Amino acid sequence: MNLKNKAIFLDRDGVINHDPGDYTKSLEEFQILSGVIEQIKSWYDEGFKIIVITNQGGIAKGLYNEHAVNAMHQYLQGKCIEAECQIEAFYFCEHHPDFSGKCLCRKPGSLMIEKAIHQFNIDPAQSIMYGDRQRDVDCAEAAGVKGVLIQTNSVNFQ
């Protein structure tokens, strides 16, 4: 019997950390929203794999680089580990259609979620994606995952 995993997919800016509206460009600007780590811990304790799926078009625009994105993700992972939980994986698209052309990974495209589903043997029917933009919901639903739209910077995972 091949048991599949269940996952919570999370957009990053505006869902996990405060979205200032013009890109989070550095670790100094990266502010985890109050209650997010506790919610991640709760899902983790319920047996969900936690996976971040985020567009980072500011890389293509030259506003920051992959190193800055990785530093923010390492910081977030450290906070999760302190809370005795973890994020299984971080997927990000560094492309922007105005600067690097079209790609398959940028949301609303579903390639990042599809990669995670394959890599971690995830059952899309048991999984949820939380995002603060319609493109997050569209991305999830294209991969067979329930998409839930939440208000930017709200931490209201219902």
**Burial of residue 3 (number of CB atoms within 10 Å: 0-12, 13-18, 19+):** exposed
Cα–Cα distance measured from residue 80 to residue 126, given in angstroms and rounded to the nearest whole number: 23
Cα–Cα distance measured from residue 50 to residue 6, given in angstroms and rounded to the nearest whole number: 9
CB 47 within 8 A of CB 60: no
98 labelled catalytic: no
22 labelled catalytic: no
Task: Tell me whether strands 128-131 and 89-93 are parallel, antiparallel or unpaired.
Answer: unpaired
Active-site residue among 13, 19, 132, 136? 13
Active-site residue among 11, 19, 132, 136? 11
Nearest residue to 78 (alpha-carbon basis) of 26, 47, 37, 20:
37
Catalytic residues: 11, 13
